[in-house]
Structure 1
Amino acid sequence: MKKAMISLLPLVAAGFVGSAFAATEADVENTFNPYKAGMPSVAGVTPGTVINKANADQFKEVLSVGLHKLIKDGAFEMKVGATTQFMINSGYINATKANLNKTKLGAKPGDNLTGYVAGRPFPEEPDLKDPRAGEKLAWNYKYGVNWGDGAVISPFYWRYRNMTTGQIEKTIKYDFHFLNFMHRTNNAPIPEITPNPSGIYRAIYVKANEPQDLKNTQLLIQRFEDDSKLDDAYLYLGFQRRVRRLAQGQVTDSFLGSDLMIEDFEGYNGRVSDMKWTYKGTKNMLLPMWNHNELKLSDEFKEADGYKFVNYGGQGGCFPDATWQLRKVYVLEAAPVNPNHPISKRTFYMDAQLQNVNGAIDIYDRKGELWKAFSVGKSHPDHHLPVNKGSGIGIDDGVIMVDVQAKHCTTAQFKGQVDPKKAPPGLFQVQNLRGGD
Structure 2
Amino acid sequence: MPPPGGRFLRARTRATGLLKLLLLGAACTPCFAQEVSDEVLNKAFHTYRAGGPKADGLPAGGVINRSNVEAARPYLSSAMYEFIKKGEYEMQVGETFDFSMHPKYVEATKKNALNVKLDPNGTLKNYVAGRPFPQEPDLKDPTAGLKLAWNFQYGRVWGDLGCIEPFIWDYKSYETGKVERSIVFDKFCFKRYAFRTVDEPTPEFTPNPSNLYRGIYVRVSAPQDLANTELLIQKFKDDTKLSDAYLYLGFQRRVRRLATGQTTDAFLGSDLMIEDFEGYNGRISDMTWTYKGTKTLLLPFWDRAAVKSKGRQHKATGEDGSVWEYTGFGGKSQCHQDAPFQLRTTYVIEATPKDASHPVSKRVYYMDAQTAELPIVEIYDRKGELWKQFVIGWVHADRGADPINKGKGADIGDTFSMIDVQARHCTTGSFRGKVDPGLVHDGIFSVQNMRGGN
Task: Tell me the TM-score normalised to structure 1 length.
Answer: 0.92
Indicate the SS of the match to 2:188: strand
Match of 2:302 in 1: 290
After superposition, where does 1:19-418 map in structure 2 within 5 Å?
Answer: 24-108=37-121, 110=122, 112-174=123-185, 175-298=187-310, 300-303=312-315, 304-357=321-374, 359-383=375-399, 384-418=401-435
Q: Is the 8 A contact 1:80 1:324 kept in 2?
A: yes
Q: Is the 8 A contact 1:297 1:308 kept in 2?
A: no
Q: What whole-Å deviation, never above 9, does each CA across 1:211-233 have from its counterpart, x for those lacking one?
A: 00000000001110001000100
Q: Is the 8 A contact 1:381 1:394 kept in 2?
A: yes
Match of 1:432 in 2: 449
Q: What whole-Å deviation, never above 9, does each CA across 1:356-387 have from its counterpart, x for those lacking one?
A: 12x11111111111111111001121122211
Distance 1:78 1:235 in 2: 38
Which residue identity does 1:435 align to in structure 2?
G
Q: What whole-Å deviation, never above 9, does each CA across 1:93-136 have from its counterpart, x for those lacking one?
A: 0101111311100114x3x2110011000111100000000000
Give how far 1:312 is off. Answer: 1.4
Distance 1:72 1:406 in 2: 20
Distance 2:137 2:125 in 1: 19
Indicate the SS of the match to 1:340: coil
Larger CA deviation: 292-301 vs 269-278: 292-301
Which residue identity does 1:418 align to in structure 2?
V
Give how far 1:73 is off. Answer: 1.6
Give how far 1:195 is off. Answer: 2.2
* Higher relative contact order (CA closer than 8 Å, sequence separation 6+): 1
Q: Is the 8 A contact 2:113 2:127 kept in 1?
A: no
Indicate the SS of the match to 2:118: coil
Larger CA deviation: 382-391 vs 298-307: 298-307
Give how far 1:300 is off. Answer: 2.6
Moved over 6 A (4+): none
Which residue identity does 1:228 align to in structure 2?
T
Indicate the SS of the match to 2:55: coil
Q: What whole-Å deviation, never above 9, does each CA across 1:1-48 have from its counterpart, x for those lacking one?
A: xxxxxxxxxxxxxxxxx9xxx953421221112224541122222112
Distance 2:77 2:244 in 1: 33
Distance 1:424 1:193 in 2: 14
Distance 2:336 2:166 in 1: 19
Which residue identity does 1:147 align to in structure 2?
W
Q: Is the 8 A contact 2:294 2:348 kept in 1?
A: yes
Q: What whole-Å deviation, never above 9, does each CA across 1:236-264 have from its counterpart, x for those lacking one?
A: 11111110100110000110111100000
Distance 1:412 1:337 in 2: 29
Indicate the SS of the match to 1:307: strand
Q: Is the 8 A contact 1:30 1:36 kept in 2?
A: no
Distance 1:413 1:267 in 2: 16
Distance 2:49 2:78 in 1: 29
Q: Is the 8 A contact 1:41 1:284 kept in 2?
A: no
Distance 2:159 2:212 in 1: 16
Q: Is the 8 A contact 2:51 2:96 kept in 1?
A: no
Which residue identity does 2:393 align to in structure 1?
G
Match of 1:14 in 2: none
Q: Is the 8 A contact 2:36 2:111 kept in 1?
A: no
Distance 2:110 2:145 in 1: 22
Structure 2: give runs of 5+ residues left out of the alignment: 1-29, 316-320
Q: What whole-Å deviation, never above 9, does each CA across 1:59-103 have from its counterpart, x for those lacking one?
A: 122111111111112211000010011000011001011113111
Give how far 1:299 is off. Answer: 5.5
Which residue identity does 2:54 align to in structure 1?
S
Distance 1:198 1:233 in 2: 14
* Higher radius of gyration, 1 or 2: 2
Indicate the SS of the match to 1:96: helix
Distance 1:25 1:379 in 2: 26
Larger CA deviation: 410-419 vs 23-32: 23-32
C-alpha RMSD of the superposition: 1.7
Match of 1:5 in 2: none
Q: Is the 8 A contact 1:24 1:124 kept in 2?
A: no
Distance 1:420 1:274 in 2: 31
Distance 2:311 2:180 in 1: 20
Task: Tell me the TM-score normalised to structure 2 length.
Answer: 0.89
Which residue identity does 1:404 align to in structure 2?
V
Indicate the SS of the match to 2:292: strand
Distance 2:341 2:407 in 1: 22
Give how far 1:194 is off. Answer: 2.3
User: 1:299–1:54: structure 2 CA closer, same or farther, 3 Å change rule?
Assistant: closer
Which residue identity does 2:253 align to in structure 1?
R
Structure 1: give runs of 5+ residues left out of the alignment: 1-17
Q: What whole-Å deviation, never above 9, does each CA across 1:276-325 have from its counterpart, x for those lacking one?
A: 00001111000111111332253633313022111112211111221110
Indicate the SS of the match to 1:276: strand
